[in-house]
Amino acid sequence: MTTKLLFYPGCSLQRTARPYLDSLVAISPLIGIELEEIQDWNCCGATEYIAIHHLASHALVGRNLALAAQQSNGTHTVMAACSACYLNLAKTDSYMQVNAQLNRQVNDALQAGGLHYQPGTVRIRHLLDIIVNDIGIEEIRTQVVRPLKGLRIAPYYGCMIARPDRDNRWDNVEHPLALDKLMKAIGAEVIDFPLKTHCCGGHMTQINMPTAYELIRRLVYGAAQYHADLMVTLCPMCQLNLDAYQSEMNRHFHTSYHMPILYFTQLLGLAFGLEPEVLGLGKEFVNASQALSRIGIEVPATELELEMVENKPARKKKEKAGLPMPQMRHSEEEDE
Amino acid sequence: MMSKINHSTTERVGVYVCHCGSNIAGVIDVEAVAQWAAEHLKDRGVVIARDYKFMCSSLGQELIEKDIQELGLTRVVVAACSPHLHEATFRVACQRAGLNPYLCELVSIREQASWVHTDKHAATEKAKAIVSGGVERVLHHTPLDPLHVPIHPATLVVGGGIAGIQAALEIADAGFPVYLVEREPSIGGHMAQFDKTFPTLDCAACILTPRMVSIGSHPNVTLMTWSEVTNVAGYVGNFTVTVKKKARYINTDLCTGCGICQEKCPKKVIDDTFEAGLGYRKAVYTPFPQAVPKYPVIDHVNCTYFQKGTCRACEKLCPTDAIDFNQEDEIVTLQVGNIVLATGYDLFDARRVAQYGYARLANVFTSIEFERLSNAAGPTNGNIVLRDGVTVPKTVGIIHCTGSRDRNFNNYCSAICCMQSLKFAHLVKERTGATVYNFYIDIRTTAKAYDEFYQRVLEEGAIFVRGRVAEVTDASRMPNEEGKLIIQVEDTLAGLQRRIPVDMVILSVGLEPRRDSHEVAKLFGISCSSDGWIIEKHPKLDPVATMTEGVFVAGCAQGPKDIPNSVAQGAAAAARVLGRIQQKEIALEPVRASVDESKCSGCRICNGLCPFNAIIFHEDRMVTEVNPALCQGCGTCVAACPAGAISGTVFSNEQIFAQMEGLLLHNIEHPPLTEGVLA
Ligand SMILES: Cc1cc2nc3c(=O)[nH]c(=O)nc-3n(C[C@H](O)[C@H](O)[C@H](O)COP(=O)(O)OP(=O)(O)OC[C@H]3O[C@@H](n4cnc5c(N)ncnc54)[C@H](O)[C@@H]3O)c2cc1C
Ligand code: SF4
Ligand code: SF4
Ligand code: SF4
Ligand code: SF4
C-alpha cells in the first residue's frame, strides 16, 4: 500500500538541505510513500517573517495551503520535512480556524491571486509523524538489510515538531521517543539524549552569533558527553546550525568537537542498503565518514575536509549496582 | 403534549415565595409573583399566596404551619432555593402542622431563575411559570409514609490505613463488631512506610504500631488482610458483602510469625509496594517486621515452587509445619449494617513528567522512595545516600508540586506535600548536613503548628527558590555542573533563570485517587469525581457520608489530606455509624421507583443503569423489580424504560406532565427568548 502525500519541500530542501531531499526521495518508494509536490509553492516565511509582518506572513502560507487544497486528488495530507515549514503551515491553518478575522483577511489577500482557502481542508503533518505513526516502525524494520549496529546516535528533535502537540501525535512533548524508537528499529544504539528538544539557535546565527554559539555548543557538548558518534536531525535549520557553524563555534570557545549531524532519512537509507552517494552523504561540513566507517560504511570525502582533533572527555562512570533503579514502563518492549 | 388543564380541584393550596434576602428578591419581583399566584391560580386551588424574607427561618416555617392549621391547607408549594438545600426543612414543617410531608413541593426560583438571569422582568415571569408548575404538580402528590428498616449492628471497614484503623477502633471500642478488610498482607497503609511525621517529627511507627496491635487483638474486630471485597448487595442496615480472602499458603493457626521462612526463602524480589521499589523482599514475606497480622504470605507469582515446581525450602524449615501450598482462595459472606470506605490514595507516577528525569536519571527519587531511604528500618538503614548505595549527597533539590497544580496533570493541590517537603529538608540537613534547595510555587502550611515548622526549617538554613522547575538534566554546560543533576528554574523572586547543580533530586509527587477507584465506587454503589476521589454527600456539611445511605468515607479516599485530618474523618465516620446502630432502625425516604410487572417487557434496558444497584431481574418470570430499600429515587430507570413500566413516587409521569402544563400556562407573559429564560 502506498501513502500518497502532498509534498511541501520548502526552500531549504532545494539548497542547503539537499541531502535531506535526496535521501527522502531515495527511501520513499521503499517505505511506500508517494510524493506529489505542491505546484508553484512559495516560501513559508521561515522563522523571521511572522515577527515582522503578521498578516503578510499568514497570507504567504495561506497561498500554499490554498494551492494544496486545490491540488488534492486522493489525499488531504500535506507533508513537510522541514520543521519550520511544518510549524508555519500548521500555525496558519489553525489560527485561521479559530480567528475569523484573520481568516477573512488572508482570504481577501488570496483573492488577488484568484485563490481561496477554507481552513481545516488539508491536514498538515511532519515527515517523522507520517513515518512513525502511519507507515509504522514495524514496516520500517522489515526493510532493514544493513542494521546500523554499533553506531551511537543522539536523537535530536529540535523545538518545533513536538510542541504544541496538534492531535496528540507524540508520546511525550517534553521528552519524545518517536525518533529514538525509529533509530533503534534500524539497529542503531540510541542515547537517552537530555537535550533532544532544546533550541539549536534558530535564527540567532543571523542576528546574534555569541548566543548562537552557546546554544550550538550545549547540544554538541551534550551529545559528546554521551559519546554519541553523531547526531540525527529532522530539520534543515537544526542541521545547518549545528553542522555549518560547528567549526566557528569551536574557534569561538577554543574547543575541538567533531560531531557529525545527519538527517534521519539518510540513516534510514543506509539501513535499507542504499549507497551513501544517493543519500547525499559526504555533503555535510562536519565529516561523517569516520563515524560511519566504524560500521563498515565508506563515504566519499566531504567537499570541505576539516581537520579536527578528537578529544573526548572520559567516559561517564557506569552506575554500580546499589539501590534498584525504577523501571520505565514498557522498557523491555522498547529495548529489545 | 397532553391536553390543557381543565379539570377542577378541591385541594386547598398555599404558595410561599421566598426573598432569600436579596438572593431572589434582588432579581425577581417576589411580591408580584405571590400576587399573581393568588389571583391567577385561584381556580387551581390556591387559597393563599405569600412572600417572605427568609422562608427557612423559624418564623417562615411557622407561617406555613399556621396556615395549614387555620386555613386548612391540603397542599403546600414553596418557591425558594434548590430542593437539595431545604426540601427536608419544609417537609418537616408541614409534618409538624399535621400535613403529610410529601404533600409539600419545593420549586427552585433561586438556582434556576434569580441566580442565572439579569433581566428582572423575564426572571419574574419565569418564576411565575415555575410556581404554576409546582402547583400543578403538587395536586398529583399522594401522602406517603417512610420505610423503616432495621440496622445490622456490624460494620465493614474497607482499607486498613490510619483512617480505616481509627474508624474500626472507635466502633469496636463502643462495643460493636467490625470487619476490617485490607488488600495488602498487613494493615498500616502509607503511614507505615514513613520514618518521621510532620510537624512534630514523632516516629511514625511509634504512634502507628500500638493502634495496629489493638486492631489485631481487639475482640470486636475481625481482621481480614490479603482480602478484597468482591460484591456488595442489600441496602443500608442490611448489606450482604462478599469478601475474597486470597490464599496466603500459610496456616495461620499454626504459624507463630517466627520469620524463618522469610529468612531462608531463596527468591528475592524488588518490593514495589512497601519499599516503593527501593528495597527487596522474599517470595514469602511480611511487608515489615511490625506487620499486623504477623503471618507472612507467599507471593505465588514469584515463588520458585509455584513457578518451577521445586524448592519448598520454607516448608522444610518451618518449625510448626505452617506452610500449606494447597490453600485456595476463600470466599466469605458478611452481614453488615454500615460500610466505611477508607481506601486511601496512590501516588502520582513521576515518569509522566519526563523532563524531571525520574526512571531515567538514577539520582532522581520520589518522595515515597525518600521516605524509605530515610527510614531507619528501610533498605539503607536510614542512611540518606545516592542510588549507588554509598555516596552521601552534598546538595539536594526538592521539587514541590510534581504532578499537582499543573494543567497537564492534576489541577488540584495535593495538600500534604509542602509539609512533607519541609520534613525532608529538615531530615536531609540533620542527617547529612547537605545544602538543601526547595523549589516551590507557594508554600502551603495552613494547619496547626505547620507554619512554625516552616520557620524552623528556614532557620536551619534550607534554601527556598520560588518557581516551577523547567527541567532536571544531566546535560552539563559548565565544568562545575559535570556529573551533577542540574535543575533549571526561573527564580521568580530574583527574576532570573537559574541552573542549580545538585547531587540528588527529590520529587514531591502529588496524591492521586486509587487507580481502581472507579471500580470500587461502582462496587459500593457510590460515585466519584471525574478525577476519581469519592464524592461526599456535602462538601462542607456532610463530608463523611456519601450519596448512598449507609456508606461512609474517611481519609484520603475522599481527597488529599494529612494524618490528623484522616484520623478525624475516620472518627467522624465511626460516630455517624454508631449513631445509626444506636437507632436500631432507620427511616428511608419513600421516594422510590417501582415496576409495573404487567407492563415490563423484560428488555433489561434499565438493569445496568441504576447507580445504586437497586434493580433486580427475575429470570424465571422475565420481569424487573426495584428493591425499594436500595432505590434512592433518582429516576434514571423511569426515564429509560421504553415500555413506561417504571414509575416513581413523587416523580410519576402524571406529576411531571402536570408540572409541564403548569410551566406553559397560557396567561403568563412569555418574554422574548433572547436570554433563553424559559430553559
Ligand atoms: C511521602 C509522603 C509523606 C507523608 N508524610 C506525612 C506526615 O509526615 N504527616 C502527615 O500528617 N501526613 C503525611 N502524609 C500524608 C499521609 O500519608 C496520609 O494522610 C495518610 O496516610 C492517609 O491515610 P489513609 O488511611 O486515608 O490512606 P492509606 O494510608 O493510603 O491507607 C489505605 C489503605 O487501604 C488499603 N486499600 C486500598 N484499596 C483497597 C481495597 N479496594 N480493598 C481493601 N483495602 C484497600 C490500602 O492497601 C491501604 O492499606 C504523607 C504522604 C506522603 C505521600
Ligand atoms: S517459618 Fe512457619 S511459623 Fe515461622 S513465620 Fe514462616 S510460616 Fe510462620
Ligand atoms: S517455596 Fe517459594 S516461598 Fe517457600 S522458600 Fe521456596 S521460593 Fe520461597
Ligand atoms: S501542598 Fe504544596 S507541594 Fe503539594 S501540591 Fe500543594 S502547593 Fe504543591
Ligand atoms: S426497561 Fe422497563 S421493560 Fe425493560 S426491563 Fe426495565 S422495567 Fe422492564
- In this predicted model, what pLDDT tens digit does every residue of B564-584 receive, in sequence order? 999 999 999 999 999 999 999
Residue B298 Cα to ligand 2 middle (Å): 11
Ligand 5: residue of B598, B606, B653 to mutate (most ligand atoms within 8 A of CB) is: B606
Contact A159, A27 (CB under 8 A): no
Q: Is the pLDDT of residue A331 over 50?
A: no
At the topology level of CATH, where does B346-512 sit? FAD/NAD(P)-binding domain (3.50.50)
Q: What pLDDT shows up at residue B438?
A: 98
Q: What pLDDT shows up at residue B675?
A: 46
Q: What pLDDT shows up at residue B649?
A: 83
Coarse DSSP helix, strand, coil percentages of chain B, rounded to the nearest 5 percent: 30, 25, 45
Q: What pLDDT shows up at residue A318?
A: 52
| Element containing residue B180 per DSSP (H, E) | strand B178-181
CB contact under 8 A, A327 and B386: no
| Interchain contact A114–B (C-beta under 8 A) | no
Contact B27, B120 (CB under 8 A): yes
* Residues β-bridged to residue A232: A155, A262
Report d(CA B609, CA A237) in Å as an integer: 57
Q: What pLDDT shows up at residue B550?
A: 94
Q: Is the pLDDT of residue A301 over 80?
A: no
Q: With beta carbons under 8 A apart, name residues in chain B contacting A320.
A: 388-389
pLDDT tens digits, residue range B121-180?
999 999 999 999 999 999 999 999 888 889 999 999 999 999 999 999 999 999 999 999
Ligand 2 in contact with B76 (CB < 6 A)?
A: no
Strand B221-224 with B178-181, pairing: parallel
- Which range among A147-151, B69-73, B256-260, B653-657 shows the weakest confidence by mean pLDDT? B653-657
Strand A77-80 with A123-126, pairing: parallel
Shortest alpha-carbon distance between residue B499 and chain A (Å) = 14
Ligand 4 in contact with B366 (CB < 6 A)?
A: no
Q: Kindly state the average pLDDT of the residues B394-418.
A: 97
Contact A61, A96 (CB under 8 A): no
Ligand 2: residue of B249, B254, B260, B316 to mutate (most ligand atoms within 8 A of CB) is: B260
Residue B295 Cα to ligand 2 middle (Å): 7
Report d(CA B423, CA B563) in Å as an integer: 14
Report d(CA B498, CA B481) in Å as an integer: 13
Ligand 3 in contact with B311 (CB < 6 A)?
A: yes
Question: Which residue minimizes the CA distance to atom 27 of ligand 1?
Answer: B344
CB contact under 8 A, B475 and A172: no
Ligand 1 in contact with B552 (CB < 6 A)?
A: no
CB contact under 8 A, B475 and A194: yes
Same fold, B247-328 and B346-512: no
In this structure, whether the domain defined by A145-330 belongs to CATH 3.40.50.11810 is answered with yes
Q: Kindly state the average pLDDT of the residues B455-461.
A: 97
Q: Is the pLDDT of residue B46 over 50?
A: yes
**Which listed ligand is nearest to B286 at the C-alpha?**
2
In this structure, whether the domain defined by B146-188+224-245+331-344+517-588 belongs to CATH 2.40.30.10 is answered with no
Q: Is the pLDDT of residue B673 over 50?
A: no
In this structure, whether the domain defined by B1-144 belongs to CATH 3.50.50 is answered with no
CB contact under 8 A, A324 and B278: yes
Using CB atoms, pick whichever of A225, A323, A329 lies closest to residue B278.
A323
Distance from the Cα of residue B365 to its chain's centroid? 29
Q: Is the pLDDT of residue A309 over 60?
A: no
Give the rounded percent of residues in chain B with a pLDDT score beyond 90.
Answer: 86
Interface residues on B facing A, Cβ-Cβ cutoff 8 A: 270, 277-280, 351, 353-355, 357-360, 362, 366, 369, 373, 379-380, 385-390, 471, 473-477, 483
Q: What pLDDT shows up at residue B672?
A: 52
Strand B238-245 with B330-336, pairing: antiparallel
Q: Kindly state the average pLDDT of the residues A283-295.
A: 92
Report d(CA B585, CA B152) in Å as an integer: 9
At the topology level of CATH, where does A3-127 sit? Glutathione S-transferase Yfyf (Class Pi); Chain A, domain 2 (1.20.1050)
Shortest alpha-carbon distance between residue B212 and chain A (Å) = 29
| Interchain contact A222–B (C-beta under 8 A) | yes
Using CB atoms, pick whichever of B353, B369, B388 lies closest to residue A319.
B388
Q: With beta carbons under 8 A apart, name residues in chain B contacting A218.
A: 475, 477
Q: Which residues contact A114 (CB under 8 A, 6 or more apart)?
A: none
pLDDT tens digits, residue range B170-216?
999 999 999 999 999 999 999 999 999 999 999 999 999 999 999 99
Residue B463 Cα to ligand 1 middle (Å): 29
| Interchain contact A190–B (C-beta under 8 A) | no
Ligand 3: residue of B250, B311, B321 to mutate (most ligand atoms within 8 A of CB) is: B311
Higher pLDDT, B321 or A73: B321
Domain extents for chain B? 1-144, 146-188+224-245+331-344+517-588, 247-328, 346-512
Q: With beta carbons under 8 A apart, name residues in chain A contacting B356.
A: none
| Element containing residue A209 per DSSP (H, E) | helix A209-225
Measured distance between the N- and C-terminal CA atoms of chain A, rounded to whole angstroms? 27
Question: Which residue minimizes the CA distance to atom 5 of ligand 5?
Answer: B604
Q: Is the pLDDT of residue B515 over 80?
A: yes
* Residues β-bridged to residue B14: B48, B76
Which DSSP string corresponds to B479-536?
GGGTTSEEEEEEETTTTEEEEEEESEEEEEEPEEE-TTHHHHHHHTT--B-SSSPBPP
In this structure, whether the domain defined by B247-328 belongs to CATH 1.10.8 is answered with no
* Residues β-bridged to residue B108: B80
Ligand 5: residue of B605, B623, B627 to mutate (most ligand atoms within 8 A of CB) is: B605
Closest ligand 3 atom to Cα of B284:
3
Q: What pLDDT shows up at residue A166?
A: 78
Report d(CA B421, CA B150) in Å as an integer: 48
Residue of B nearest to A219 (CA): B475
Whole-structure pTM value: 0.81
Report d(CA B528, CA B374) in Å as an integer: 34
pLDDT tens digits, residue range A4-63?
999 999 999 988 999 999 999 999 999 999 999 999 999 998 888 888 888 999 999 999
Q: Which residues contact A198 (CB under 8 A, 6 or more apart)?
A: A159, A215, A218, A219
CB contact under 8 A, A322 and B475: no
Ligand 2 in contact with B327 (CB < 6 A)?
A: no
Q: What pLDDT shows up at residue B220?
A: 98
Cell of A218: 550545549
Cell of B118: 439579569
Residue B607 Cα to ligand 5 middle (Å): 8
Q: Which residues contact B72 (CB under 8 A, 6 or more apart)?
A: B12
CB contact under 8 A, A218 and B477: yes
Residue B536 Cα to ligand 4 middle (Å): 23
Q: Find residues 196-215 of chain A whose CB sits inside 8 Å of chain B.
A: none
Please report which confidence band the pLDDT of residue A315 belongs to, taking 50, 70 and 90 as the band edges.
Answer: low
**Which listed ligand is nearest to B298 at the C-alpha?**
3
Q: What pLDDT shows up at residue A329?
A: 62
Q: Is the pLDDT of residue A300 over 70?
A: no
pLDDT tens digits, residue range B630-654?
888 888 898 899 998 998 888 888 8
Ligand 4 in contact with B411 (CB < 6 A)?
A: no
| Interchain contact A315–B (C-beta under 8 A) | no
Contact B400, B423 (CB under 8 A): no
CB contact under 8 A, B351 and A328: yes
Shortest alpha-carbon distance between residue A175 and chain B (Å) = 6
Report d(CA B475, CA A154) in Å as an integer: 13
pLDDT tens digits, residue range B426-440?
999 999 999 999 999
Residue B614 Cα to ligand 5 middle (Å): 13
Please report which confidence band the pLDDT of residue B516 belongs to, taking 50, 70 and 90 as the band edges.
Answer: very high
Residue of B360, B392, B407, B472 to mutate for A, most A C-beta atoms under 10 A = B360
Contact A9, A35 (CB under 8 A): no
Angle subtended by helix axes B120-138 and B653-663, to nearest 10:
150
Domain extents for chain A? 3-127, 145-330
Residue of A nearest to B373 (CA): A323
Contact B527, B611 (CB under 8 A): yes
Q: Round the average pLDDT of chain B to a whole number and report it.
A: 93
B286 burial type by CB count under 10 A (0-12 exposed, 13-18 middle, 19+ buried): buried
